[in-house]
Copies of this chain bind each other. A is one copy, B any other.
Amino acid sequence: MQDMVAPNMNDCVDCPIRHRAVCARCDADELELLEDIKYYRSFTAGQTIMWSGDRMDFVASVVSGVAALTQTMEDGRTQMVGLLLPSDFVGRPGRETATYTVTATSDLVMCCFRRKPFEQMINSTPHIAHRLLEMTLDELDAAREWMLVLGRKTAREKIASLLAIIARRDAVLAKNTDINSLAFDLPLTREAMSDYLGLTLETVSRQISALKKDGVIVLEGKRRINVPDMDRLMDEAGDDSDGGFLS
């Protein structure tokens, strides 16, 4: 069963607790503990993994692909509140129901851990709990960084900020050291981008066109983006810091 999806699994195949999700430091005993309670699930782009309010029997880590956490108001306005990239964690130990709707924005593989035994493991192995705290604090910083984007940045700056986040994360995962001049695939539709940025999809489209016209990015098709000058992009994002959404 694990072998079926193994090719996409990064380090999860060899050692699940190498997941940023679970523990930074490997240990054979923990590996065994996790082996018993883990399983893999695949989703196709657009599939909803769970709805806000659903009962949640597992916590999970993204192995490959991209998922989104979203909130929706009664009248349909929706806001994405988190973007889950490979190695990101989802689920809250101690909480039985999902707070947010989770959707696969691209084809996706998750490594799930049954919640109850996972919680027990946390309680018995302090350094895993500690690692989880660290990750949660990173996520909190990321969410706060994003509050600045949502509250104070212009549409153009918002787009540039999002592209910078994805570009950097992509570079890290690809072990790409040449951070100047890189290309990547956008794992989001224009609509998903607009939900993330608090914009309409038309505005997203227009601003991407504008950035292209101004030479900040080069489009290859609609989804593949080439950034000739990363510093320039960061500048457009208005970031003095290192850009933030990632820890």
Q: Which residues of A contact B (CB under 8 A)?
A: 69, 71, 73-75, 77-79, 81-82, 92-95, 99-100, 123, 126, 129-130, 132-134, 136-137, 139-141, 143-148, 150-152, 197-198, 238, 240
Chain B residues positioned under 8 Å from A129 (CB to CB): 126, 129-130, 133
* B152, A147: Cβ atoms closer than 8 Å: no
* Of B82, B94, B144, the contact of A69 (CB 8 Å cutoff): B144
- Cα separation A140 to B146 with both chains bound (whole Å): 12
**Shortest beta-carbon distance from A122 to chain B in Å:** 8
* Of B79, B136, B152, the contact of A78 (CB 8 Å cutoff): B152
Enumerate the 5 nearest inter-chain pairs by beta-carbon distance, A residue then B residue, closest first: A151-B198, A81-B144, A143-B143, A150-B150, A79-B148
* B198, A92: Cβ atoms closer than 8 Å: no
A sample of 30 cross-chain residue pairs with beta-carbon separation below 8 angstroms, ordered by A number, consists of: A69-B144, A71-B144, A73-B148, A73-B152, A75-B238, A77-B152, A79-B151, A81-B144, A81-B147, A81-B148, A82-B144, A92-B137, A93-B133, A99-B144, A100-B144, A123-B126, A126-B126, A126-B129, A129-B129, A133-B133, A133-B136, A136-B137, A139-B140, A143-B143, A143-B144, A146-B147, A150-B150, A150-B198, A151-B197, A151-B198
* B133, A73: Cβ atoms closer than 8 Å: no
Q: Other than A73-B148, A78-B152, give 20 A-B pairs with Cβ distance below 8 A.
A: A71-B144, A71-B145, A71-B148, A73-B152, A73-B238, A75-B238, A79-B152, A95-B137, A99-B144, A100-B144, A123-B126, A126-B129, A132-B133, A133-B133, A136-B137, A136-B140, A140-B143, A147-B150, A150-B150, A150-B151
Residue of B nearest to A69 (CB): B144
Chain B residues positioned under 8 Å from A143 (CB to CB): 140, 143-144, 147
**Shortest beta-carbon distance from A24 to chain B in Å:** 13
Chain B residues positioned under 8 Å from A197 (CB to CB): 151
Chain B residues positioned under 8 Å from A144 (CB to CB): 69, 71, 81-82, 99-100, 143
- Cα separation A49 to B86 with both chains bound (whole Å): 37
